Amino acid sequence: MAEEGGGEYLFKIVVIGDSAVGKSNLLSRFARNEFDHHSKATIGVEFQTQVVEVEGKDVKVQVWDTAGQERFRAVTSAYYRGAVGALIVYDISRKPTFESIKRWLDELNTHCDTAVSRMLVGNKCDLESIREVSVDEGKNLAEEERLFFIETSAFRATNVRKSFEIVIREIYDKVS
Ligand code: GDP
Ligand code: MG
């Protein structure tokens, strides 16, 4: 799903990670600059499309949300199909969500080839006072697994655009 007719690009990016790490809010922050304090498990909406400019070219970015499937460990292969980028998200204030990252990477690897651009995202960095995962722990895991790494806050809109833009840029460099 890299190039459409007419030289226009379409990139599919999936957002994965444990329940309530902030996946849907990262997506709504990126797509609509919105944050929801009381977001329920995502129902219905499957993806959001955004047009992003890279080197003067319009790139259509389709970001997929899990629609709550991750609660039941039932993210389907259709979800991953055609993905060229992935944000693998944990919550810096909940260690178990960080410990799940390897499992999410395994799942990504079974469904997608290794060329998928990957970003490890430590979300909720506004919750410094109750942090359970240090920046170094995040960095080290990212290095080990050869992922990009960033900490974000969907709440404060910190680094959200940047996290998507780095992934989009890497995909673009691969296909252009
Ligand atoms: P998902 O299940 O991974 O899609 O997580 P949601 O986006 O539904 O968010 C789960 C909960 O975490 C909600 O109550 C959000 O308001 C909250 N949340 C999401 N992102 C942040 C963040 O960056 N900081 C803080 N403090 N809360 C967040
Ligand atoms: Mg959600």
Structural contact between residues 120 and 101, judged by C-beta atoms closer than 8 angstroms: yes
**Alpha carbon nearest to ligand 1 atom 11, residue:** 20
**Alpha carbon nearest to ligand 1 atom 22, residue:** 124
Looking at the CA of 18, name the nearest ligand: 1
58-77 per-position pLDDT tens digit: 999 999 998 778 887 778 88
**Cβ(124) – ligand 1 distance below 6 Å:** yes
117-142 per-position pLDDT tens digit: 999 999 999 999 999 999 999 999 99
Instruction: Provide the pLDDT confidence category of residue 149 given band limits of 50, 70 and 90.
Output: very high
Nearest ligand 1 atom, CA 36 = 16
Please determine, for the modelled complex, whether the ipTM score is greater than 0.90: yes
Q: Has residue 43 got a pLDDT over 60?
A: no
**Alpha carbon nearest to ligand 1 atom 16, residue:** 37
Nearest Cα neighbor of 120 from 136, 30, 81 is 136
Nearest Cα neighbor of 121 from 24, 50, 26, 35 is 26
